[in-house]
Chains A and B, each alone.
Chain A
Amino acid sequence: MNEQLLENKNEIARRDSTIERKSSASGWLSSISFRTKLVIHAILVSALALLLAAVALLNYDVYIKRQNLVDEASVYAKIVGANSTAALVFEEAGTVERLLQTLALEPGFNAAHVYRVVEGSDSNLVLFASYSESSSTVSPVDEVPFNAEIIDADLVKVYRPVVLDGETIGVVYLEISTAELTEHFYRSLGIFCLVMVLALVFALVISAKFQQILIRPVNKLIETTVIVTQNNDFSVRAAKISDDEMGTLTDSFNSMLDTVQKHDSMRENVERKIRELNESLEIKVEARTKQLEQTNKGLRNALEDLQNAQSQLVQSEKMASLGGLVAGVAHEINTPIGIGVTASSHLQQKLEELKKQYIDGQMTRPDLENYLSTAQESGQIIFANLNRAAELIQGFKQVAVDQSSEIKRRFNLSEYIDEILISLRPKLKKTKHEVRVTCPEDLVIDSFPGAFSQIVTNFVVNSLIHGFDGIENGHINIDVRVQGSRILFVYQDDGVGVTEDVRDKIFEPFFTTKRGLGGSGLGTHVVYNLITQVLSGSIECNSAVGGGIRFDIDLPLP
């Protein structure tokens, strides 16, 4: 914390030095005192204000004077025009000339001309009467406008039409010198300069007096800041001299010192607390770290246990499947074995009877022949049933071996599916459901038969438990086709189907809709793992409630 404060102070000092360098580079203005700056400011503001006001007033005055000249010339032109109508009509030029000479007595008049419109053409003018003070030239008649005002540097020129009965009969031209205007301008300029000098002197005196009053509280503030900075003593307060903005500034400065003092003591307290907190925090962090490590260890163990449990469960599922298979085998074999036992016991009974007859000496030829016939029949029955049992055991053995091992071998897929279905016959036999298999008979693949066995068994068992729940005559279709280098394996039933929500989770481990009713929730998960990992294929489930379920399995042709 202290290091950070120190760094901030250094940064502020660097900025201040940069500002100072820039200021010194900007010129002498930065080096002069605030007092002098105030005086210069007052003088400059006063001078600028006076200059602006004078320029505006002079301009306005000149504009008004010039406009007055134009108006004056315009009025005279109209008067001359009004008094010249009859003379123009009766072509009495002498009368107009006398009029113009009278006008020339007015100061500033330079020249005056009256033009007459020649009857029949408005634009055809002739000079009718003229008066000229000095070197003024008469404009060519074709350049004379009927109504115009021209303001030159030295002259104001006005053209006004002479109208009689709505008809322009002539044009009066008057020329007034602006010399008087120029003279007036310079006179005003002189007065302004004098006023400006007096005003500036006055401003200088006033500002010199004022700056003393203004600067005194500032000086007091500076003194206080120097003491605070040098002694690092925030208990010092600046003396309040006036009740104006500077007084408010002093109050604010003192208030700021109060705040700084409070903050300083608070900062010290906070720093102490932070130090203590840091120390206790380090201890806490260490303890928490140990706890976390222990927790992590426990979690890792739990995860391992979970993975083991999952693996065991999957294995259990396989074993459960195998157990089912064994139960099926036992059930299926029971019949031929039973028949065999019955036949053999019957044969044994017949043999005992014959043996007794022989011992008693009562055995007749027909008895022997009868026995031989019975023995032959029984032997045939026993042989046939034992053979049947042997066949079943052979088939079950293969499926069971495949299910319990993960050995890769070549096998005919069609025949193998049949063997799987035989192993499932004990379950299917109890129902009226039908299984139909469509598979190329010559399809021999080099793959993992145990995986196929698990897949088909799980699908069929799921259909029986879930799909045909409440359905008596269900149908299962297993359709296998070869497309190029792929095997398309489709399993489909027309059972109750599943909802969209169930369909989305159907391959998740431990997901079951029959929890507590014997479902482990691992059947379809095992199927998914076998297809994707063992057989390197993909599986997709499509189903709708009431529309059965369909699994599309895409496998590479091994």
Chain B
Amino acid sequence: MVVRYEHSSLLGLARDGRLVTLIRFILLIPLITFFIASAQGARLDAEKIAVVKAAYIYKFSKFVIWPDSVFPSETSDIQICLVDTDEQLNKVLLLGTKQRQSRGRIITIRLIQLENNNAESVGLKLTGCNLLYVKELDQKQQSVVFDWAIDNHALLVGDTRETLGVNSIVNLAIEGQRVVFYVNKEALSRSGVQIEATLLMFAKSSNK
């Protein structure tokens, strides 16, 4: 690229090659800015999605009807158990559900980490949970948790493509720019947990 400059000082810069370096630097600035902004945007989207998902999990509790037998007493809490989920979502839910109630019961958030695939061990850890949110579990752990949820009348909310329609009752997904949820009606029926029709009106079905 040959650039002819009329100005003497610019001619001087051109002669010693510094002008080319300057032009290259100037061209690099927007590119660098774009990459930084993209990284920042990605971080912001992740935060936003975490907030929306946390809100969904909390709001599910308002439209789910558990059998009376799952609560030890009329004043027992609704326990939302976050199993091996990311720290950001945990933080949002812990802060967002403080002093909140659903169906006249206080919401309690429990953070659970599963250490093995042993059903008995997993069952002990999950005892008392009414709503389970699981994310990055291996297939075996997911299956154990799913079985426990079916047997213990808990609503299992999954958040991966792998669990959709298989090892979850409700499954969150991102479609386009929106968070949507699928309901595995067969599993829901087996679990004995009911979801109000008003919620099911816009839920997607994960059954084939």
**Residues of chain A whose beta carbon lies under 8 Å from any beta carbon of chain B:** 82-87, 89-90, 92, 94-95, 164-165
Q: Does B202 contact A (CB under 8 A)?
A: yes
- Whether B56 lies near A165 (C-beta < 8 A) is no
Q: Does B108 contact A (CB under 8 A)?
A: no
Closest Cβ neighbor of B103 among chain A residues: A165
Chain A residues closer than 8 Å to B63, beta-carbon distance? 85-86, 89
CB contact between B202 and one of A94, A164, A165 (< 8 Å): that residue: A94
- Whether A86 lies near B102 (C-beta < 8 A) is no
Q: Does B101 contact A (CB under 8 A)?
A: yes
- Whether A90 lies near B104 (C-beta < 8 A) is no
- Whether A165 lies near B104 (C-beta < 8 A) is yes
Q: How far is the CB of B188 from chain A (nearest CB, A)?
A: 15
CB contact between A165 and one of B62, B196, B197 (< 8 Å): that residue: B62
Q: How far is the CB of B167 from chain A (nearest CB, A)?
A: 23
Chain B residues closer than 8 Å to A89, beta-carbon distance? 59, 62-63
A87-B62 contact given A165-B102, A165-B103, A165-B104, CB 8 Å threshold: no
Chain B residues closer than 8 Å to A95, beta-carbon distance? 201-202
> 10 new A-B pairs (CB below 8 Å) besides A85-B196, A86-B63, A89-B63?
A82-B198, A83-B201, A84-B198, A85-B198, A86-B199, A89-B62, A90-B56, A92-B202, A164-B62, A165-B104
Chain A residues closer than 8 Å to B196, beta-carbon distance? 85-86
- Whether A87 lies near B101 (C-beta < 8 A) is no
Q: How far is the CB of A17 from chain B (nearest CB, A)?
A: 89
Chain B residues closer than 8 Å to A82, beta-carbon distance? 198
Q: How far is the CB of A116 from chain B (nearest CB, A)?
A: 13
| A90–B203 alpha-carbon span in the complex (Å) | 11
- Would you list which residues of chain B between 94 and 122 have a CB under 8 Å from chain A? 101-104
Q: How far is the CB of A77 from chain B (nearest CB, A)?
A: 15
- Whether B201 lies near A86 (C-beta < 8 A) is yes
| A371–B200 alpha-carbon span in the complex (Å) | 188
Number of B interface residues at 8 Å Cβ cutoff, please give it.
14
- Whether A87 lies near B102 (C-beta < 8 A) is no
A87-B202 contact given A165-B101, A165-B103, CB 8 Å threshold: yes
| A47–B80 alpha-carbon span in the complex (Å) | 75
Residue among A82, A86, A87 with the most chain B CB within 10 A? A86
Q: How far is the CB of B101 from chain A (nearest CB, A)?
A: 7
Closest Cβ neighbor of B104 among chain A residues: A165
Q: How far is the CB of B56 from chain A (nearest CB, A)?
A: 7
| A87–B196 alpha-carbon span in the complex (Å) | 11
Closest Cβ neighbor of A88 among chain B residues: B198
Chain B residues closer than 8 Å to A164, beta-carbon distance? 62
Q: List 23 A-B contacts (CB under 8 A).
A: A82-B198, A83-B197, A84-B198, A85-B63, A85-B196, A85-B198, A86-B196, A86-B202, A87-B198, A87-B202, A89-B63, A90-B56, A90-B59, A90-B199, A92-B201, A92-B202, A94-B202, A95-B201, A95-B202, A165-B101, A165-B102, A165-B103, A165-B104
Residue among B103, B196, B202 with the most chain A CB within 10 A? B202
Chain A residues closer than 8 Å to B101, beta-carbon distance? 165
**CB-based closest 7 A-B pairs:** A86-B198, A86-B199, A92-B202, A95-B202, A89-B59, A95-B201, A85-B198
Closest Cβ neighbor of A95 among chain B residues: B202
Q: How far is the CB of B181 from chain A (nearest CB, A)?
A: 9
Main secondary structure of the interface of A (DSSP, over half): helix
Q: How far is the CB of A95 from chain B (nearest CB, A)?
A: 5
CB contact between A83 and one of B59, B62, B198 (< 8 Å): that residue: B198
Q: How far is the CB of B131 from chain A (nearest CB, A)?
A: 15
Chain A residues closer than 8 Å to B198, beta-carbon distance? 82-87
- Would you list which residues of chain B between 184 and 208 have a CB under 8 Å from chain A? 196-199, 201-202
| A85–B195 alpha-carbon span in the complex (Å) | 13
Chain B residues closer than 8 Å to A84, beta-carbon distance? 198
Q: How far is the CB of B89 from chain A (nearest CB, A)?
A: 17
| A424–B49 alpha-carbon span in the complex (Å) | 154
Chain B residues closer than 8 Å to A87, beta-carbon distance? 198, 201-202
Q: How far is the CB of B12 from chain A (nearest CB, A)?
A: 63
Chain B residues closer than 8 Å to A94, beta-carbon distance? 202
| A95–B200 alpha-carbon span in the complex (Å) | 11
Closest Cβ neighbor of A83 among chain B residues: B198
| A83–B56 alpha-carbon span in the complex (Å) | 18
Chain B residues closer than 8 Å to A92, beta-carbon distance? 201-202
| A159–B198 alpha-carbon span in the complex (Å) | 21
Chain A residues closer than 8 Å to B199, beta-carbon distance? 86, 90
Q: Mark B31-64, 1 if CB is under 8 A from A, else 0.
A: 0000000000000000000000000100100110
| A164–B58 alpha-carbon span in the complex (Å) | 14
Chain B residues closer than 8 Å to A85, beta-carbon distance? 63, 196, 198
Q: How far is the CB of B74 from chain A (nearest CB, A)?
A: 16
| A83–B63 alpha-carbon span in the complex (Å) | 12
- Would you list which residues of chain B between 139 and 166 have a CB under 8 Å from chain A? none
Residue among A84, A89, A164 with the most chain B CB within 10 A? A89
- Would you list which residues of chain B between 166 and 185 have a CB under 8 Å from chain A? none
Closest Cβ neighbor of A90 among chain B residues: B59
| A95–B103 alpha-carbon span in the complex (Å) | 23
Q: How far is the CB of B105 from chain A (nearest CB, A)?
A: 10
| A165–B63 alpha-carbon span in the complex (Å) | 10
Residue among A83, A90, A94 with the most chain B CB within 10 A? A90
Closest Cβ neighbor of B61 among chain A residues: A165
Q: How far is the CB of A147 from chain B (nearest CB, A)?
A: 21
Chain A residues closer than 8 Å to B102, beta-carbon distance? 165
| A84–B196 alpha-carbon span in the complex (Å) | 11
Closest Cβ neighbor of A84 among chain B residues: B198
| A288–B101 alpha-carbon span in the complex (Å) | 121
Closest Cβ neighbor of A89 among chain B residues: B59
Chain A residues closer than 8 Å to B62, beta-carbon distance? 89, 164-165
Q: How far is the CB of A163 from chain B (nearest CB, A)?
A: 12
| A84–B202 alpha-carbon span in the complex (Å) | 11
Chain A residues closer than 8 Å to B103, beta-carbon distance? 165
| A83–B101 alpha-carbon span in the complex (Å) | 21
| A351–B155 alpha-carbon span in the complex (Å) | 189
Q: How far is the CB of A89 from chain B (nearest CB, A)?
A: 5
Closest Cβ neighbor of A169 among chain B residues: B62
| A82–B198 alpha-carbon span in the complex (Å) | 8
Chain B residues closer than 8 Å to A86, beta-carbon distance? 63, 196, 198-199, 201-202
- Whether B201 lies near A90 (C-beta < 8 A) is no
| A82–B63 alpha-carbon span in the complex (Å) | 12
Closest Cβ neighbor of A85 among chain B residues: B198
Closest Cβ neighbor of A93 among chain B residues: B202
| A83–B197 alpha-carbon span in the complex (Å) | 8
| A86–B196 alpha-carbon span in the complex (Å) | 8
Closest Cβ neighbor of B102 among chain A residues: A165
| A164–B63 alpha-carbon span in the complex (Å) | 10
Q: How far is the CB of A494 from chain B (nearest CB, A)?
A: 115
